[in-house]
Structure 1
Amino acid sequence: MANFTKDEILAKAADLAKMIAETDEVDFFKRAEAQINENQKVREMIASMKSLQKQAVNFQNYGKEKAYQQTQSKLTALEEELDELPIVQEFKQSQVDVNDLLQMVASQVSNRVTDIIIETTEGDLLSGETGSKVRAGGNGCS
């Protein structure tokens, strides 16, 4: 069995990252992000939100609770309005899709490493136990 170095594994990971970056999910994410950045209404709403966030921090720092609460209410309403825009919904969905793909790849790698460890130690895939556990488990093979 071949032994690989961390550098070799990281090089393969970089190749995998390049493949992921060239998927439909990532392509859609990039296009959705570009549309968000080019949309005047979205840019104005985000600028307003940043301004309201700064005001809220200032009101909170100076103990102006009523003004703080009013600013927070405006901020929440603006966030809800922004979230209702189809362009924003598409962008958020594209983030979820890319994240799901990354999680799927990470899970597949993790599960496969575990399976290989079990297989190479002559363990039991069904129980998920390595060979050392199976042999020590009192199965009459002492």
Structure 2
Amino acid sequence: MTTKLYTKDEIVEKAKEIAHMIANTEEVEFFKKAEEQINENQFVREKIASLKALQKQAVNFQHLGKEKALKMIEGKITGIETEIDELPVVQQFKQSQTEVNELLQLVSNAIANNVTDEVIASTGGDVLKGETGSKVRNSTPGSCS
């Protein structure tokens, strides 16, 4: 039995199909809606603008060696970051990011594990032990090397 060999282009084309499928999941839809809510939230936009201004000041103070001023600015930055992180809309956004990342990790792991299993099976190996056929044949007691 001959197995069809695939080109990189064919694999990339399938990857694009999977990417399209992932982009059209409930997880990604929720992520897009959560991001939109953040972008529409005036309070969040103002806090982010303040944060960016403080971060610029922090870089300047650090460059000028003004440690006391830098510590004060860093404290303000931490306070604003905490305020932002405590908002339900931001928590929902972060949760949706986590769920999308978990989905991507799941797909990545599924691909890696199935490639490994296919290689093991195609060489006559032992999938349960995770050994390819050549390893199984060369590790059997009494076999000739």
Q: TM-score, normalised by structure 1?
A: 0.98
Aligned to 1:15: 17
Cα shift at 1:138: 2.8
Aligned to 1:43: 45
Aligned to 2:89: 87
Greater than 6 Å deviation, 4+ residue runs: none
Which runs of structure 2 are paired with 1:44-123 in the superposition (5 Å)? Answer: 44-123=46-125
Aligned equivalents of 2:131, 2:13: Cα separation in 1: 30
For structure 1, the 5+ residue unaligned runs are none
Cα shift at 1:61: 0.6
Cα shift at 1:140: 3.4
Identity %, equivalent residues: 60
CA RMSD after TM alignment: 0.8
Q: TM-score, normalised by structure 2?
A: 0.96
Aligned equivalents of 1:115, 1:61: Cα separation in 2: 54
Cα shift at 1:126: 1.3
Q: In the alignment, which of 119, 134, 137 is matched to residue 139 of structure 2?
A: 137
- Equivalent residue letter for 1:91: F
